[in-house]
Chain A
Amino acid sequence: MEAVYSNLLNLQWQQVVMWVIGGLLIYLAIKKDMEPTLLLPMGFGAILVNLPMSGAVTQVIDGVEEIGVISLLFDSGIANELFPLLLFIGIGAMIDFGPLLSNPKLMLFGAAAQFGIFFTLCMAALFGFDIKDAASIAIIGAADGPTSIFVANFLQSNYIGAIIVAAYSYMALVPIVQPPVIKLLTTKKERLIRMPYEQRNVSKTTRILFPIIVTIIAGVVAPRSVALVGFLMFGNLIRECGVLGSLSETAQKVLANLITLFLGITVAARMQADAFLNPQTLLILGLGLVAFIVDTAGGVIFGKVINIFSKKKINPMIGAAGISAFPMSSRVVHKLGLAEDPHNFLLMHAAGANVSGQIASVIAGGLLLNFLG
């Protein structure tokens, strides 16, 4: 009988707190529809790895190491950066770069909206994190889960669990985080600027050459980003080549779903109470929010600066879509535009800036790895 309840004595209050956090993530995933594909497995995983003497994680019992399946998955799929890279094939296959290819100038917004990453790097350093942890925290501003996982893992951050929770939570909160920042930085007159969309045809050759060219350019400048950029662009090449429809569909659906399924629960390996419950986690959540806010501000302010020099005015709100959170961010900008003027359709411009942000955030991650890796 004692065997039935003896393990209860191993339970620590910190583990119970992690159950509550896990429950909260599951609640947010189901009830609030916040990134359910990631937050639900992460929430369940947080409970799983925080059971007393959990067999899901590797532990030493009576001097013998027992390998846990979550730890095994972590070592096989995240510690070697495999899962985020494979997921990038699926993401690349999902993205239509058409709006960007028909208006390449929108790419500049993707670059400007990465300012939050580097601003947060400075802030995290100021708050006492060492340079590699600061960079790992800063990459939350990439607004892109796989990039955050890749960079934080590459730099061997001690806070990878908190970083991933922050990255995915704020991506889900983009519709709440971005509008106040955009409204604060723009006047009503600016928000009313109309940008008629001119549909320009993009040749199939351009669509096919684009992922190859991006891989070469990004790879030459930031060689450590080449795996990230390369897998993203490989997925896109599969989509655009026109002869691999079945593979493209598999990458977009089956592959992306499978990897996401394992990624969420595997990340929980770094959500054990002793590593997760500390004041730094709260600080990381705060810095993650700063990264998203400054990213948004960077894009909007860049749009306002361009308007000073340009005759053809740009609605600076589309700058906010330069963060990588795709497609949430472009939808936010589109809705804000419609709220000011029901006939102002900004979606295609915002989508162009948004997919540019996807590329720029990966390049930002690669540059950080180049500087600090």
Chain B
Amino acid sequence: MNVELFLETLPIMLKGMVGIFIVIAAIMISITVLNKVTAGKGEKE
């Protein structure tokens, strides 16, 4: 058991999850804006 390395990975877990949520939130906001901007332009599928 390598407790020292385990403790070193905890901040990576935190940074990783925060990073994913930031990227995903940015993409989510972009899609929402895109959907609003392009709504009703007569090119629906």
Seen from chain A, the residues whose Cβ lies within 8 Å of a Cβ on chain B are 100-102, 104-105, 107-108, 110-111, 114-115, 117-119, 121-122, 125-128, 130-131, 134, 200-207, 209-210, 213-214, 217-218, 221-222, 356, 359-360, 363-364, 367-368, 371-372
A-B pairs with the 3 shortest C-beta distances? A118-B13, A203-B38, A201-B44
Expressed in whole angstroms, the minimum distance between the Cβ of B1 and any Cβ of chain A is 6
Measured between beta carbons, the chain B residues less than 8 angstroms from A105 are 28
Q: Are B15 and A371 in contact (CB under 8 A)?
A: yes
Measured between beta carbons, the chain B residues less than 8 angstroms from A101 are 31, 35
Q: Are A203 and B39 in contact (CB under 8 A)?
A: yes
- Known interface pairs A115-B17, A218-B23; A126-B43 also in contact (CB < 8 Å): no
In the complex, what distance in Å separates the CA atom of A40 from the CA atom of B30?
A: 41
Q: Is the interface of B mostly helix, strand, loop or mixed?
A: helix
Seen from chain B, the residues whose Cβ lies within 8 Å of a Cβ on chain A are 1-3, 5-6, 8-10, 12-13, 15-17, 19-28, 30-32, 34-35, 38-39, 41, 43-45
- Known interface pairs A108-B24, A201-B44, A204-B45; A126-B5 also in contact (CB < 8 Å): yes
- Known interface pairs A114-B20, A203-B38; A125-B9 also in contact (CB < 8 Å): yes
Measured between beta carbons, the chain A residues less than 8 angstroms from B21 are 108, 111
Residue of A nearest to B30 (CB): A213
Measured between beta carbons, the chain B residues less than 8 angstroms from A128 are 1-2
Residue of A nearest to B2 (CB): A128
Measured between beta carbons, the chain A residues less than 8 angstroms from B6 are 122, 125-126
- Known interface pairs A107-B28, A108-B28, A356-B24; A203-B15 also in contact (CB < 8 Å): no
In the complex, what distance in Å separates the CA atom of A104 from the CA atom of B31?
A: 7
Residue of A nearest to B32 (CB): A104
Residue of B nearest to A216 (CB): B30
Measured between beta carbons, the chain B residues less than 8 angstroms from A204 are 43-45
Q: Are A202 and B45 in contact (CB under 8 A)?
A: yes
Q: Are A205 and B38 in contact (CB under 8 A)?
A: yes
Q: Are B9 and A364 in contact (CB under 8 A)?
A: no
Q: Are A107 and B24 in contact (CB under 8 A)?
A: yes
Q: Are A107 and B19 in contact (CB under 8 A)?
A: no
In the complex, what distance in Å separates the CA atom of A119 from the CA atom of B35?
A: 35
Most chain-B Cβ atoms within 10 A of its Cβ — which of A110, A204, A217, A222? A217
Q: Are A117 and B16 in contact (CB under 8 A)?
A: yes
Expressed in whole angstroms, the minimum distance between the Cβ of B4 and any Cβ of chain A is 9
